[in-house]
Chain A
């Protein structure tokens, strides 16, 4: 199994290379940041400087922790992508007599080998780049005599081992939960879906029963609609009733006018979305005008609650709204909006994480602009955070593309041309990345305005940070689009 694992790792160069690259970035960034965070010279100098500014925040350590966490998230995402791209291999192995243990060994061999291969250049490059980083830090902090401690090596290795343990656990759980029939026939995914108790309760109550099916005397939802729903004898008869009688009294012209009048289906965004939008707008409007940091924090929380609601429900409701508006009129929008809805629905957590981390680190960059030492740390944190989370989003999109190959291949079979499919993919990708850009940018713009109102020289820094965010999203988006396109088109070629 070990030999087969290594052989398949070598043959499936594309997936392996992605995994290798993610591990390389993860180990490199973790090693670099933990080295700087554990460097006594830097820590002491920063503590003195920050203590002088009446603050005791060990910025470099916190930042290292945040960045390392994002590295872990990146590796987890890439691992998911790696495993998902090998579903057919798992099905083949299990069907032809491999035990779960053997399948786990098959994957762990690949993971361990890639981890090992990635760690050597990552440590070497990290070690080399630390020289340059220290030179740069020295020029800012005025420090010297940095010694590379064993602590950072040990911490990085321990962290890698922890991640590796997680990967083992993930692979074991994934493989043991996997059903060959689901991979082969791709259906009945909701096999173990537990019944929605709340839904059952509501249904039961409408029928005058509790969730266990017992009769209840009083229906708490006993309003008019519930009565009509539970009464099976109530049948709509178009040729009876007051409306029919009223209709019969009309003259021919009025009857014709009524009959021709199409019934327009009302499409609305829903009240909760309006509330979340209002919270978000209120927060965004209040942020620039709050005098103290504490009151600004309250406005930020308000805006964030709004964003949280919008990400969880608002964007999805908006897509649904657009989809219903364009239903049957645009042969593209129905597809890319449906795909987009699915992708956003699954990437809610990473979107919320990205909005929160980007806006908080953006705020810290502006807050410490006048203190070069802290600002440098915050800016590095911002740059790395944006890159790591954007790469996570990219891998997330790639995982989705793997699962879409069949849908696109079926669309091609029913008459969509390759050019049209590419247009659909492009539009989907643009909208997906736009959703990642718009919400944090609005929040960052509000935060920027707060500082610009005090000092207009903040403008260039704000624009620079936002443009950087945009540039990283554009680059990762383009890479994701190219791979997405290639995956789908190659699936169609295989069908041919």
Chain B
């Protein structure tokens, strides 16, 4: 039997419920993520990708449905346990979650460990380790406004992985990066995934999604297709993803 890190059933999200502006951003949806999965969520703008990710990251509550973390429903967790889960097991990476301008890059990356009250030496060592992994060890003492967009984005990635999470949720992590830097960041995710870290990636780019092992395609708040990489090469998988998205483009004409 498959070991699920995260299991969501019948998840739906209705914004402005019980008002005349009620909007169902996410229709009842099932999502299962196994240990070590690398899942990409794709879909056009407004399809409900971010809504789904916010719910799966426990940053938003679904209108219906339930989420199980390591086989245990989230309603069983106390607020403290959920916060601990976010701190230790979940690495959230979003470019909207900006770096704090008054802290150095090092202090920003260390934030999840500072919250977890880890000791200073451990924090320093771990921050340096992830900074080296992302190639930003030379800017650790700088403030975010003194760094380039790409460096800031890598720092955000470092902050997401510093606490060695079981599971990474990344919302458009390569949005502002050039192709070389994007490739490096995605390579890093792949490397972490091979070491057993689960990755959930939101993107609208087929090239980015081709790094995953499974792609969930969302349209109008519903999962319309699920594509698994299986034994295909990245190139073949990419071509299939392009075909998947082009189906939708064809519907336009």
Chain A residues in contact with chain B, CB under 8 A? 1, 4, 8, 11-12, 88-89, 91-100, 102, 179-181, 184-185, 188, 190-191, 193-196, 199-200, 494
Contacts and interface: CB of A to CB of B under 8 A. Distances in A.
Given A1-B115, A11-B103, A95-B92, A193 B19 contact: yes
A191 B61 CA distance: 12
A188 B15 contact: yes
B87 A190 contact: no
Interface string B58-71: 01100000000000
A96 B20 contact: no
Contacts of B96: 184-185
Nearest to B107: A7
Contacts of B92: 95-96
Contact of B79 (A11, A100, A190): A100
Contacts of B8: none
Contacts of A94: 59, 83
Contact of A97 (B21, B50, B97, B115): B115
Given A98-B115, A100-B79, 7 more contacts: A97-B116, A97-B163, A179-B60, A188-B16, A190-B21, A193-B16, A194-B18
Nearest to B78: A99
Given A98-B83, A188-B15, A191-B15, A92 B97 contact: yes
A180 B54 CA distance: 9
Interface of B: 15-16, 18-21, 50, 54, 57, 59-60, 79-80, 83-88, 92, 94, 96-98, 100, 102-103, 111-112, 114-116, 145, 159, 163
Nearest to B59: A180
A88 B83 CA distance: 17
A100 B115 CA distance: 12
Given A11-B103, A89-B100, A96 B145 contact: no
Is chain B's interface secondary structure helix, strand, loop, or mixed overall? mixed
B97 A184 contact: yes
A335 to B, nearest CB: 25
Contact of A181 (B60, B83, B84, B114): B60
Contacts of A89: 100
A185 B50 contact: yes
B9 to A, nearest CB: 21
29 contacts: A4-B115, A8-B102, A8-B103, A88-B97, A89-B100, A92-B97, A93-B111, A93-B115, A96-B111, A96-B115, A97-B87, A97-B112, A97-B115, A97-B163, A98-B115, A99-B79, A99-B80, A102-B115, A179-B60, A180-B59, A184-B94, A185-B50, A185-B96, A191-B15, A193-B16, A194-B18, A194-B19, A195-B18, A195-B19
A446 to B, nearest CB: 45
Contacts of B79: 99-100
Contacts of A97: 83-88, 112, 115-116, 163
B111 A92 contact: yes
B50 A195 contact: no
A317 to B, nearest CB: 24
A12 B21 CA distance: 39
A92 B57 CA distance: 13
Given A179-B60, A184-B96, A200 B20 contact: yes
B83 A11 contact: no
A181 B102 contact: no
A211 to B, nearest CB: 12
Contacts of B80: 99
A179 B88 CA distance: 21
The 6 residue pairs across chains A and B that have the minimum distance between CB atoms: A97-B87, A11-B102, A96-B112, A184-B96, A99-B83, A97-B86
A4 B102 CA distance: 12
B100 A92 contact: yes
B112 A4 contact: no
Contacts of A12: 102
